[in-house]
A and B are shown apart, each in its own frame.
Chain A
Amino acid sequence: MYPSRFRYEAPRTLDEALALLAEHGDEAKILAGGQSLVPMMKLRFAAPGVLVDINGVQGLAYHQEVPGGGLRVGALCRHVDLEHSAILPGAQPTMAAAAPLVADPIVRTRGTLVGSLCHADPQGDWASVMLALDGAVVAASPRGLRTIPVGEFVVGTFQNALEQDEIAVEAVVPAAQGTRSGSYLKLERRVGDFATAGVAVALESDGGRVVRAGIALTGVGPATIAAVDAQQALLGSSLEPDVVERAAELAAAVARPRTDHRGTADYKRHVVATFVRRILTAERAPAGAAA
């Protein structure tokens, strides 16, 4: 397929990239992994006049723990880096569970977590994970840096909170208030398929009791959904079966799925409940053991 004509710019520094955005305004688009933008361009759903390719900008490919807890993920950290990360399995179980479920191996070598957040696809896996973890996006502009919580960053279907002249430079996960646990489950028809439904659960517990809970849903609404009531239901609990059941029901209740070729709305809601139940039931043993 043949995209519309566009100009291609490859800045070497963040400042150059910001200058290009300032110069071209809404004509310009950032190109990170290109795994969402390029497919849209080839279908001419997106037709940016100027592509600002940030892949040559140094120092954005990291992901690292923050002293005292938490994680920073640079704008050019690829899905594959997270999939093979030495840090995530111990420190960030929800992210570790999600990384190998994003897209397929080919897409994972190019696509980025930050790009996925920027793309704000309701079926994007990272947005749910980062929402459950209470993460945020750091945006750079000529005015400096600002930090936007993921819940405010993703404003709608394919809509993020960035200004025209801003670049997302990293995503951050705050330090945990206790022991971290959690997971990500995704129902997909085939490897590389977007989620029929996905559930991210991120728990922080202290003394066997849940002190913070994040539950977010992928692919079952016009945007990533935070299951706030379900989160609340878990607080203070030790994931007792009735609590788990209640959280599963509450999470399913906030899902707003549509019937499509991936499944009926009823089915997707049912999958949400099933996945919440499965993750929490699996977490109960380790959480209890920590008590």
Chain B
Amino acid sequence: MTATAEPATGSQALDEVKIGGLGSSRPRVEDARFIRGRGNYVEDVTLPGMLHMEILRSPLAHARIKSIDTSAAWAIPGVKLVLTGEMAAQRNLAWMPTLSYDTQAVLATDKVRFQGQEVACVVAEDPYIAKDACDAIVVEYEALPPIVNPEQAVAPGAPLIRDDKAGQADNVAYQWEVGDKDGTDAAFAQADVVSKLRLHYPRSHPSPIENCGAVADFNNATGKLTVYLTSQAPHIVRAAVALIAELPEHLIRIISPDVGGGFGNKVPVYPGYVCAILCSILTAKPVKWIEDNTGNLSSTGFGRDMYLDSEMALTNDGKILAVRYHATTDQGAFYADAQPTKFKIGLVHSSFACYDVPVGHITAQGMYTNKAPGGVAYRCSFRVTEAMFFQERMMQAAADDLGMDQAEFRRRNLVRDDQFPYRTPFGFLTDSGQYLKCLQVGLDAIGYDDFLVEQAEARKQGRLLGIGISTMTEPLGAGNSREYDILGIKMFDSAELRVHPTGKAVLKIGAQTQGQGHETTFAQIVTHELGIPATDIVVEHGDTDHTPFGMGTYASRSTPVAGAATAMVARKIRAKARKLAAHLLEVSEEDVEWELGRFFVRGAESRGVTIQECAMAAYSNMPDGMEPGLENNAYYDPPNLTWPFACYIATVEVDPETGVWDVLRFVGVDDCGVRINPMIVEGQIMGGLTEAYAISNMQFQTYDVDGNLVGANYMDYLLPTAWETPGFELHEVVTPSPHHPIGAKGVGECAAVGGPAAYVNAVMDALRPTGVRNIDMPLLPDRVWHAAHTGQDVSGAPPFRTE
């Protein structure tokens, strides 16, 4: 079938949605294997002669290691290796660098610094034997006082957690500041009203369904190390392994097979990976390590655990003059934030980016505590989740202090459409948006005015109804290379496209799907650019030997960066195809026009060739002097971040007798620019709103006075089920990103970032008659009940009190 067979009049462009281009909700191609149990996860990888590794973890939060006796473990038949920190130290691998320029123990040598820390590992013929041998290792500890919050960390006489670090005299991990202090102070001096709020954003855990794991295979004949790894960023891991383990980079191959959820938990390099690699080198056998649930929950990258102490300067008529706050982050035992920004506290200063705030000042400090390290994970661009939660809780408190309607207060302060590009008080440049329109769509959808009437009526009968709004924009798509790097490597991303002779294509990307559906949506970008049906394109990723170098998938960056690289490489292919078309059509290139799927001769539309015909010509009939083939690659360094906007509104009813609250309705309005696959976008939003609900309602990790982790298994750390998760009513507004090739913005995190404040604001609104100003998340029934009964705020900060 050729285009020239078609009638001679009118456009013959393909119907983009029908062929699976932009705007097509084509089913996810990944699902075919996932729902049939044909996925391939690290746990599924089995290599000949493979051994199994198990990690012994510390039961104590803070203790000096006096001795480790491994003799009984070695004596168990089937045990091949018992590795301690002392042995790892001989290879200079007892410690490793973190992505935040700190160090982290691989296996403890001197002290243990959090409960669950890796102390030793065993390699055995099967995982049961390995576990038996771990149980047989005898470690003698001398307990030290544990520190479980920043206040304890700075108290006089507090034990020094990081006595391993030269020059570290206290428990402060970093200090940081941004904004205009003098300007902010001056603005506060002019304020009619100063609104204050203090709160704690609890620790939460990304809790991917698949825990971390690795199969490390060092071949001592070839010197090549192959590691199957649950990673969101395999290329970074390759670079890190080259740097940490001092192995030559060309002899390291990292393969991320199917990854069962990441949410930021699978960005860092963990001690377990280093141990598996070292054990494979030492045994010259493939070594498999699969983390268990408690191991994952108690030792890998968490999110939040951050304190806010804030003030907002306001005029009586509801204008924000300035904001200032101090934020304290609890980093755990090692400063291991997996974040690539130049800012110690990540992107927390993106808060208030959607409001027209003239000036602001933020100070922050990070504290070492005896808790698990790694603080910016969980569906969050490096602390934007805290930034937006703080912002939206402060907005509600300020509206209350002014006695002003929540929606009206936001309306008076949101950045207007004609202000873009807009410079925020902390120096970001937001790209585009229609904030007031989004807010209005949300208010109309929830029936705002009617709800306020219903709420007032209900209050007369003692029923507590509440409505909560959260509006926010967030910076997604790191980097640009000026401000974002990991271990010095700039935050670009990449794509490589090969079009085969028959017009079918393989796209290889540097990003790494963990459920986002890249294999579906990235094909759609190629379809949009080249008119090749999406079903004719296969997307590959996750094998560092066979895909281009990329920085991985987290922080909603794949579509903004790798997606842009995909569009750009497709355009390079189209440029070459145009030359081939000119050759086939025997006209000069300037006379060739493009419509979706086809080139044609300007002025003679019926004379055309399809992209598939061009592809065949690239291998069979190229013009003299042209290089054969139709493939190319692109590395994309984004000029700016993309700034999606969201408006989330929840209505709730609180049972005053039990403190239980139910979501009555939830409306979400997302503007993430051009939607590639609307179904997948909605899936991302629903997933995020579900996680936001979990965090606000039931889910948290905390520590008791002894440094024991509360929430170290899935009976205590709750994932919501379909039963309690509210229904979501989703709406869209589309403002393309002006600097992204296809106008798309990131969306993966918006709902998890902006969602929590909507729920919390709704419950606080319901409790307004009680005078309660803040309850820390999660708003557990007992906390709500105590607040409602005493009229007092409820803190959720650790230590967690038990009897």
A258 to B716, CA, bound (A): 16
Q: Which residues of B contact A259 (CB under 8 A)?
A: 801-803
Q: Which residues of B contact A192 (CB under 8 A)?
A: 721
Query: Given contacts A187-B660, A258-B802, A264-B782, is CB(A2)–CB(B128) below 8 Å?
Result: yes
Report the minimum CB–CB distance from A175 to chain B (whole Å). 35
Q: Is A274 an interface residue (CB 8 A)?
A: yes
A268 to B802, CA, bound (A): 13
Chain B interface main SS type: loop
Residue from A3, A192, A194 with most neighbouring chain B CB atoms (10 Å): A192
**Contact B718 A193, beta carbon cutoff 8 Å:** yes
Q: Which residues of A contact B711 (CB under 8 A)?
A: 261
Pick from B698, B716, B781: contact of A267, CB under 8 Å = B781
Q: Is A270 an interface residue (CB 8 A)?
A: yes
Query: Given contacts A258-B803, A274-B658, is CB(A264)–CB(B786) below 8 Å?
Result: yes
**Contact B785 A267, beta carbon cutoff 8 Å:** yes
**Contact A265 B803, beta carbon cutoff 8 Å:** yes
Q: Is B361 an interface residue (CB 8 A)?
A: no
Report the minimum CB–CB distance from B57 to chain A (whole Å). 13
Q: Is B292 an interface residue (CB 8 A)?
A: yes
A1 to B702, CA, bound (A): 23
Q: Is A143 an interface residue (CB 8 A)?
A: no
A44 to B127, CA, bound (A): 14
Q: Is A59 an interface residue (CB 8 A)?
A: no
**Contact A267 B721, beta carbon cutoff 8 Å:** no
A270 to B785, CA, bound (A): 10
**Contact B715 A194, beta carbon cutoff 8 Å:** yes
Q: Is A7 an interface residue (CB 8 A)?
A: no
Chain A interface main SS type: loop
Query: Given contacts A189-B698, A190-B724, A274-B657, is CB(A44)–CB(B802) below 8 Å?
Result: no
A193 to B716, CA, bound (A): 8
Nearest chain B residue, comparing its CB with the CB of A193: B718
**Contact B659 A191, beta carbon cutoff 8 Å:** no
Pick from B128, B721, B785: contact of A5, CB under 8 Å = B128
Give the B interface residue count (CB, 8 A).
33
- Chain A, range 28-85, C-beta contacts under 8 Å to B: 44
A261 to B786, CA, bound (A): 14
A268 to B803, CA, bound (A): 13
Nearest chain A residue, comparing its CB with the CB of B697: A189
Q: Which residues of B contact A2 (CB under 8 A)?
A: 54, 127-128, 130-131
Q: Which residues of A contact B781 (CB under 8 A)?
A: 187, 189, 196, 263, 267
Report the minimum CB–CB distance from A281 to chain B (whole Å). 12
**Contact A260 B802, beta carbon cutoff 8 Å:** yes
Q: Which residues of A contact B17 (CB under 8 A)?
A: none
Q: Is A271 an interface residue (CB 8 A)?
A: yes
Pick from A104, A258, A262: contact of B721, CB under 8 Å = A104
Q: Is A4 an interface residue (CB 8 A)?
A: yes
Q: Which residues of A contact B721 (CB under 8 A)?
A: 104, 190-192
Q: Is B780 an interface residue (CB 8 A)?
A: yes
Q: Is B135 an interface residue (CB 8 A)?
A: yes
Report the minimum CB–CB distance from A196 to chain B (whole Å). 7
Pick from A191, A265, A274: contact of B724, CB under 8 Å = A191
**Contact A44 B135, beta carbon cutoff 8 Å:** yes
Q: Which residues of A contact B292 (CB under 8 A)?
A: 1
Residue from A5, A264, A266 with most neighbouring chain B CB atoms (10 Å): A264
Q: Which residues of A contact B780 (CB under 8 A)?
A: 189, 263
- Chain A, range 174-197, C-beta contacts under 8 Å to B: 187, 189-194, 196
A192 to B716, CA, bound (A): 11
Report the minimum CB–CB distance from B45 to chain A (whole Å). 18
**Contact A263 B803, beta carbon cutoff 8 Å:** no
**Contact B782 A263, beta carbon cutoff 8 Å:** yes
A146 to B128, CA, bound (A): 40
Q: Which residues of A contact B782 (CB under 8 A)?
A: 196, 262-264, 267-268
A187 to B724, CA, bound (A): 13
A189 to B716, CA, bound (A): 10
Q: Is B720 an interface residue (CB 8 A)?
A: yes
| A244-288 vs B, Cβ < 8 Å mask (1 yes, 0 no) | 000000000000001111111111101100100000000000000
A88 to B711, CA, bound (A): 36
- Chain A, range 1-27, C-beta contacts under 8 Å to B: 1-5
A258 to B801, CA, bound (A): 10
- Chain A, range 104-119, C-beta contacts under 8 Å to B: 104
**Contact B658 A190, beta carbon cutoff 8 Å:** no
| B772-803 vs A, Cβ < 8 Å mask (1 yes, 0 no) | 00000000111001100000000000001111
Q: Is B575 an interface residue (CB 8 A)?
A: no
Report the minimum CB–CB distance from B171 to chain A (whole Å). 26
Q: Which residues of B contact A189 (CB under 8 A)?
A: 698, 718, 780-781
**Contact A267 B131, beta carbon cutoff 8 Å:** no
**Contact A267 B803, beta carbon cutoff 8 Å:** no
Pick from A261, A265, A266, A271: contact of B658, CB under 8 Å = A271
Pick from B54, B131, B710: contact of A261, CB under 8 Å = B710
Q: Which residues of B contact A264 (CB under 8 A)?
A: 782, 786
Q: Which residues of B contact A261 (CB under 8 A)?
A: 702, 710-711, 716, 800, 802
Report the minimum CB–CB distance from A228 to chain B (whole Å). 24
A261 to B785, CA, bound (A): 15
Q: Which residues of B contact A44 (CB under 8 A)?
A: 131, 135
A261 to B715, CA, bound (A): 11
| B268-304 vs A, Cβ < 8 Å mask (1 yes, 0 no) | 0000000000000000000000001100000000000
- Chain B, range 646-704, C-beta contacts under 8 Å to A: 657-660, 698, 702
A1 to B128, CA, bound (A): 9
A264 to B781, CA, bound (A): 10
A187 to B702, CA, bound (A): 22
Report the minimum CB–CB distance from B72 to chain A (whole Å). 15
Nearest chain B residue, comparing its CB with the CB of A263: B782
Q: Which residues of A contact B723 (CB under 8 A)?
A: 190-191
Q: Which residues of B contact A3 (CB under 8 A)?
A: 128
Q: Is B132 an interface residue (CB 8 A)?
A: yes
A5 to B126, CA, bound (A): 12
* 15 A–B contacts from the bound complex (CB under 8 Å): A2-B54, A2-B130, A104-B721, A189-B698, A190-B718, A190-B721, A191-B721, A192-B721, A194-B715, A261-B710, A261-B716, A263-B781, A267-B659, A267-B785, A274-B658
Extra inter-chain contacts (15) besides given A189-B698, A196-B782, A274-B657, CB under 8 Å: A2-B127, A44-B131, A187-B660, A190-B724, A191-B723, A193-B715, A193-B718, A194-B715, A261-B702, A261-B710, A262-B782, A264-B786, A267-B781, A268-B782, A274-B658
Nearest 8 interchain pairs by C-beta:
A263-B782, A267-B782, A191-B723, A2-B131, A259-B803, A258-B803, A2-B128, A190-B718
